[in-house]
Structure 1
């Protein structure tokens, strides 16, 4: 049923020469695939659904319950619209039928006595044929645009945008894990289909054999994108109304072009990735000239490496990290220097030009990147970029469930405890002060030692003790802790331990 051309009830009602009028039409966008005529009381058993059913008597049901059962049987059988002809059995549409249509949600049309059912059927056939012919022209024109788009450097993205505009839909390319590779929405789409797209993908993920999803909000179709005989991605299209057959056919043809474009982009990305990886390593070793040569090979249209760069270290699933780099690459323009990156161990290290940093960080507000964590270092001239990388790595340690992005500049400005981290300080405090459990006098002495910087006279005065008593307790304290408080490192450890008690 979904592979035939259809017209809407609204389009049919828009033809005044047919002498028909709507008595009750709750679903004017309902699709009509053909016309059927029947005077039986249960015609739905002989129909396929989506026909315009014409009748002059409806089998003359008995009473209010009979008319309601008649209407309900039609709706259950997929018949959305009933045309009642006047002049043969009835001079006007039976009020009980109007009431039954309202209760069942059935579209009800009055057909004037001077309008023959044959002429009405012929008009519907002509409208369907016109729609089919129009669809062929639209599909042919769209095919040409898609072919031209596939030859562009970012073919998959351009195909997605052209397809969305051509079929009037929201179009998304997803990898097998559901991550968005590219997406676009036609300017003619006036409703937000994002929730519908997410709901449909969730249902599709649970059952990939079901390639279509229909709800009150709209309709979604899924088409596999195959490479070397394997499903590598999925093409999803969503409409607010049921799509025409030519629009569905466009998906199948676009998927072939997208498969080719993705394969080409993967080859280019692999080549480009190796160039950027090596350029990044050369940059860290101070060989700016060599890094520049490789960067120009990867980004021939971009400006030279220059200006100030910000180090960004990101951790997360490799698939998400690679999608992120693709997004960052799209931010590169002729007006700014290019970004660099390398995959290092379990994370991604990036060199982002200052001008591109806001757009880069805006990706972390996207739902698809909610699992990523990023540490941002301080900006430096490109020749000194490596200086800031350690700060970005330290900032990454301060991210978590409540903080997705941390900046080293803000952390370092807030003091040593922020740099160390409260959790780390608390753990260190517990270990360092464990020998003093129950030793309240020694703990008080340690606090005074840190507060007075080891001034024994001041310590004795603050504690109300004799200097000799302070000396004796101090020796005991150091034995307990196994340190010499005269050493600067021991004093620093004591200060961190005391601060960490409140963490």
Structure 2
């Protein structure tokens, strides 16, 4: 990271007393760390980059190619801005230099003959000192706000929000797998920085030794959030312009506070998790009062268990499921009754307030949760919540590669075959009808039996057979299948088998 204070070319041009003007300035927000003066034809060799280079001759390059090479050497060496002084070697800025600046993107400033380079250097130094002093005050004030935020409930969110507002950036906390724990962007940032944040994370995760990234869209910095010497998360901040040193220092200090807050929240989460799982079990047993007591212990400030709740059963990796519960908890307990959940048979079972369901399901469109699958049951009053859990479990069976979320209400409304599932019905059909393989007449008879509800006269008329022939074939059919078609269960099985045949 850069550790010096800098000013912008734009700020310098805003000083009319300096008698300077822009001839070509494609990058007015370019940072200046100091002023250097040189009449050499290749001064970049002796510079570090980001200096304002002042010259009266530029070494007097020869011809258009010479001036272009001079400008290219500056840009390659990290020099963004050249100030050309008049009155010593040239009365006007050489036109070939202006052309070279336009071709290379070099900022070009004209310095009037009555403006000394020394006075210009002194003004730059003064501006940098003012920026440094201002930065110290800003950092001190922000430190106080961050410490206050760390003492608040939901301290990780509070610290992240205060930091984003203080440094004017998009701030994110990610776990080591890259999943977003929390993020905030200050309202003063009008540019969408989420693509930049995602791109820089991909580059960072490939090389974690590099903690800063710069693109045309902006800058991103990373700070490790460590516990016992190991990275447990990463703090990421993205700006449209390169951050000042005080902003970088604030990022580091916020990382220490977030590390402590995460450690505290993990302890609290383990305690809350045990309470919530027990409350969930009591809820299924119909002991609403006991469940309410445990819920209040987990979330003292949350509303009481009331209204209608929706059962949601989610399948996936445990780390993803736990990350999902954290997002749901942060999102809904502010203004709604609290969610409950438990881990049961390698699944996450959740009780979600009806009003919070859209917000909960919106998480499944996020990239980090793309591998999760969810079954959603029908909503019930909290006192009868357990009545909808079976439907949510069944709905989960209908999810797959092409359907991440399935709703029991939609499945049950679509009829028995939708409830059973096409794959299940096809497998049952193959097994049930296997004894009739090659017996076309018996299969046709079974179809008519189901269609006519066992009316032998209608079957005989449709098939063009005598009633006695139909009776004999029915005996053979039932013997082959090992069933008694007079029984309602056998008739239902036959219907499902016929419906489940592959087209």
Aligned counterpart, 2:235: 235
1:334 offset after TM fit, Å? 6.5
Q: How does 1:15-26 map to 2 (within 5 A)?
A: 15-26=15-26
Aligned counterpart, 1:359: 359
Q: 1: distance between equivalents of 2:180 and 2:477?
A: 61
Aligned counterpart, 1:469: 469
CA distances 1:373-422 after superposition (whole Å, capped 9, x unpaired): 21111122222211111111011111222222221112112111110011
The CA RMSD measured in Å over matched residues stands at 1.4
Aligned counterpart, 1:154: 154
Aligned counterpart, 1:78: 78
Question: Matched residue pairs, number?
Answer: 503
1:353 offset after TM fit, Å? 2.0
Q: 2: distance between equivalents of 1:24 and 1:303?
A: 62
1:423 offset after TM fit, Å? 1.6
CA shift in 2, pair 1:436/1:268, >3 Å: same
CA distances 1:290-336 after superposition (whole Å, capped 9, x unpaired): 11211111121223222222211111222222222222222345653
1:311 aligns with 2:311: yes
Which deviates more, 222-231 or 292-301?
292-301
Aligned counterpart, 1:497: 497
CA distances 1:346-376 after superposition (whole Å, capped 9, x unpaired): 2111112223222222222333322222111
In structure 1, the residue corresponding to 2:54 is in which secondary structure? strand
1:5 aligns with 2:5: yes
CA distances 1:188-227 after superposition (whole Å, capped 9, x unpaired): 1110000000000011111111111111111100100001
1:223 aligns with 2:245: no
| Equivalent pair of 2:8/2:32 in contact (CA under 8 Å) | yes
| Equivalent pair of 2:170/2:184 in contact (CA under 8 Å) | yes
Q: 1: distance between equivalents of 2:339 and 2:136?
A: 45
Structure 2 unaligned residues grouped into runs of 5+: none
In structure 2, the residue corresponding to 1:331 is in which secondary structure? helix
Q: 1: distance between equivalents of 2:308 and 2:218?
A: 48
| Equivalent pair of 1:302/1:332 in contact (CA under 8 Å) | no
Aligned counterpart, 1:106: 106
TM-score by length of 2: 0.97
1:467 offset after TM fit, Å? 1.4
TM-score by length of 1: 0.97
Q: 2: distance between equivalents of 1:86 and 1:337?
A: 73
| Equivalent pair of 2:333/2:339 in contact (CA under 8 Å) | no
| Equivalent pair of 1:71/1:106 in contact (CA under 8 Å) | yes
Q: 1: distance between equivalents of 2:502 and 2:410?
A: 22
CA distances 1:161-201 after superposition (whole Å, capped 9, x unpaired): 00011000000000001110010001111100000000000
1:105 offset after TM fit, Å? 1.0
Q: 1: distance between equivalents of 2:164 and 2:123?
A: 32
